[in-house]
Every structure is written in C-alpha cells, then in structure tokens.
Amino acid sequence: MAKKQVILGAQFPGVNNFTVWSDPAAGSQIAFSSFRHFAETVERGKFDFIFLAEGLRLREQKGRLHELDVAGRPNTLAVLTALAAVTQHVGLVGTLTTTFNEPYPLARQLATLDLLSGGRAGWNFVTSPGAFTGANFRRGDHLPHAQRYERAREFVEAARQIWRGGDFAVLSRHFDIAGRSGLGPLPQGAPVLVQAGESDAGRELAASHADVIYSRHSELEAGRAFYADVKGRLARYGRRPDALKILPGANFALGDTEAEARDKAAQIRLQQVSPRSAITFLEQVWNRDLSAYDAEGPLPAIDPDVEADALSQGRAMRYDDRLATARKWREIAERDGLSIRQLVIRVTGRKQFTGTPQAVALEIERHVQEDAADGFVLAPHLTPGGFDEFVAKVVPVLQDRGVFRRDYAASTLRGHLWAA
C-alpha cells in the first residue's frame, strides 16, 4: 500500500510561550521582513501552509502587560495578504474568532485573500476562550462555551453560503442577515476550514464542517486516540475519514548527533522558561504573587488562592482546579527533586521532536503512518530563521523516503492537502 503523505504547516513564532526572544539569533516578530523570510523558507521546503495564531487582547498578569505582547500580533489578514504577494504556492492560514466577528465582513475578507492568493486561503475558526478578550469588543461581554460553539456553527454555515455567491439569507439564533454576495466563484470554492478546540462540541463541529483540525494531541498514543475519535465521527455527516486532516502542533530540536540534539532541546527549554517566566507560570496556577520565591528553589508550601479574582488575564492556558493542579505538581517535584523552574519546564512542555534530521524525519513519518496524525503544524522557537535548518536537513529526508512532495503539484491549498 502506498505510504500516507505527510502534511506540514508552519506556525509563525509570535506571542507564544515557546518563542525565544532572548537568543541573539531572534529577530523581530512584527517586521514584514520576518514574515517574508519565514514564508519563503517554508515555501522552499514545500510546506503545505503557514499558520498564524490569534490573540485579540494584550494579556495581563498582576495588572501588568506581558512585555512581549506590547508589540502584539499584527492583523492576521493583512499579514497573510501581504505574504500572498511574495509567495506562489504555500497556503496561508489565519486564526480568526467566530465569537467577536460577523459573518459577512469576515467571509468577504477571507474570500479576498483566496482571490488574491490564487486559492491559498485557510481559516482556523476558533471560539476564543476568555471573557477578558471580549471586553476589547463593543459587545463587551462573552458567551458561555455552548453558545460560542452554537455561534461558531451558524457562523461557518453563513460563511459557506456567502462564499457560494449570489443571494444569501441566514436566520438563526445568532444571525439575521440577508444579501447578495458578489464574490464568487472563489479559486478554492471556499477557503480551507481549520478547527481548533477539543471539547465534544469542538470535535463535532470539526467532524461536520472542517477540512483540518489543529490539535494538541501530539504524542503517539494520545494522538492515535484523538485521531480515531474524530475520524470516527465523520460517517455521521456522510464524510469519508480522509475528508478531515488531523494536524497536531509540535516543536522540534535538531542536532548532528542524538546527544547534541538532546542538549539543544534542553537548552531551548531553559531559554523558553527563564527564572522569571517560571514564576509567572506558577503564579497562574497559584493565583498569588510569588515574586519572592526563588525559581531555582522548591515549590511554595502555601496553597493556591481559589477565592481571589484571577491574577492572570487573557491566557489560553486554563487551570480549572488550581488545588488539584498544585497537588499534582508538588508530587512530581518532590518525587523527582525538581526546582520550580525544572518543574515548569517539565509540565508546560509540549511535543518536541528531538534528534538528528534523520531521526526527526522518521519520527514524524511514524506518527503519520501509525495514524496518530496526518501531519503536523510545526513551530520553531526562533523567528524568523527557525525553519532554516529544518528545511535544509529534515525535509530532504522526508522526500527521499517518499512521504513528502519534492515540488508542489497543485496551486491551491486544497490541492496540496489532497494531492496524494
């Protein structure tokens, strides 16, 4: 049987806890030259798409802004449209919320991206987790989880109608719109739809409406369970398992030898979790000012404050049960003799493919052939050069193994995803 082809997306390292700014090789997260370098590199590597995450409000901790957020993230659609002009093949996927946008203007902007890029637009529709973000918008409030998903479903269905062109009319719980869309026909019919959100409601929405899921389940076993669960939901909507591609997020660390790669991976984690950011992470769980603690020392004996208002606002990571989390973290730290910083490095890390280029390529391939994923949305720790080495050394191994394209066979993102 022919081998499954690996799909590769490239997340631009912007305001993320895995992005390292302290490294001398780190460049601007907002200059167009950074986006351009990044896009040109992954296009040279024949990646399927570039991916931008979304954060709509500067995050705060103890009432202060995170310093890296101040420059923030430039507007996603503007960045992707500019990149469309300097690339020819690579897909352009932006994360944009259904909670605070409106269907017609957003569908129109995405359609414009699809037109200008010749069919390379993708939309990662998210529901945005925090009420804090909502305050940035005129509505000034936030919807409960179930209603956010209800709105997301209605939003995506409305967008699909709008993309079909001609008359559209949507009367649903969240929308009452009617008009005539002058946009069609689009190069891809509709931009590629990506979903990120892992609750039952999120998985169901993906199974019914999405082309791709961006997931957190990047370890082999967890990935296989997630993959089987979501693919198993498709038949209910009359869809084949291959109609929805599953792409977990992951990082990577390369070395000329296994030992060098392991050392590199450890160094990256130390850069990602400075003493100060270790305390910041801990404060998010403890919900207390822990600035007097030594990051290289033991965890606080004091329990989290579950009564006070949240100290940290606008973070994607949530800890629903602070006491249980603190208990679990203390157990790990005591068992393995870890300092605060070492513990935070351990518990906040996500999948990091570590090894020689050969080994990393084989591991990525294994995840795909064993149905833990259809590919990955990879994120380097450096901008803008974080993919230089990967493209030069790992991509050729994947190509030699016959699991990754040597050249683009299609001109649209849909064409890349279903080329095999």
Q: Least CB distance from residue 309 to ligand FMN, whole Å?
A: 21
Judged by beta carbon, residue 129 or residue 357, the one nearer ligand FMN is 129
Q: Which residues in 235-392 belong to E strands, given as ranges?
A: 245-254, 312-313, 352-355, 375-378
Shortest CB 245 distance to ligand FMN, Å = 14
CA distance to 8, 47, 50, 378, 420, per residue, from 405 (Å): 10, 9, 16, 17, 9
Comparison of 119 and 249: residue with beta carbon closer to ligand FMN:
249
Helix, coil or strand: residue 169: strand
The pair phi, psi for residue 406, each rounded to 5°, is -85, -25
Nearest to ligand FMN of 96, 359 (CB atom): 96
Look up residue 216 and give its DSSP letter.
S
The residue (of 128 and 272) whose beta carbon lies closer to ligand FMN is 128
* Closest distance to ligand FMN from the beta carbon of 291 (Å): 28
Question: At closest approach, how far in Å is the CB of 346 from ligand FMN?
Answer: 20
Q: Which of 50, 12, 77 is nearest to 416 (CA)?
A: 50
- Residue ranges with strand state E in 128-272: 166-171, 176-181, 192-195, 212-215, 245-254
Q: Return residues touching ligand FMN (CB under 6 A).
A: 53-54, 95, 97, 126-129, 196-199, 201-202, 214-216, 249, 316
Q: How far is the CB of 331 from ligand FMN (least distance, A)?
A: 26
Structure tokens given for 359:
């080994």
CB of 214 to ligand FMN, least distance (A): 5
The smaller minimum CB distance to ligand FMN, of residues 249 and 380, is found at 249
Q: Which of 183, 164, 161 is nearest to 172 (CA)?
A: 161
- Please say which residue, 95 or 251, places its beta carbon nearer to ligand FMN: 95
End-to-end CA distance of the chain: 13
Q: Which of 24/144 has CB closer to ligand FMN?
A: 144
**CB 213 to ligand FMN: min, Å:** 9
Closest approach of ligand FMN to the CB of residue 249, in Å: 6
Min. distance of Cβ 377 from ligand FMN in angstroms? 8
Residue 231's Cβ-count burial label (10 Å; 0-12, 13-18, 19+) is buried
Of the pair 376, 390, the CB lying nearest ligand FMN is at 376
Contact 398, 363 (CB under 8 A): no
Nearer to ligand FMN, 45 or 129 (CB): 129
Kindly tell me which of 372 and 391 has the beta carbon lying closer to ligand FMN: 372
Tokens of 111: 């359609």
CB of residue 40 to ligand FMN, shortest distance in Å: 23
Phi and psi at 48, nearest 5°, equal -70, -45
Shortest gap between Cβ of 340 and ligand FMN (angstroms)? 26
**DSSP-based three-state secondary structure for 85:** helix
Scored b (16 or more CB within 10 A) or e, 106-133 reads bbbbbbbbbbbbebbbbbbbbbbbbebb
Pair of tokens at residue 323? 């006491």
Give the CA dihedral 96, 183, 209, 102, nearest 10 degrees: 40
How far apart are the C-alpha atoms of 9 and 374, rounded to whole Å?
11
Closest CB to ligand FMN among 197 and 255? 197
Contacts of 105 (CB under 8 A, 6+ apart): none
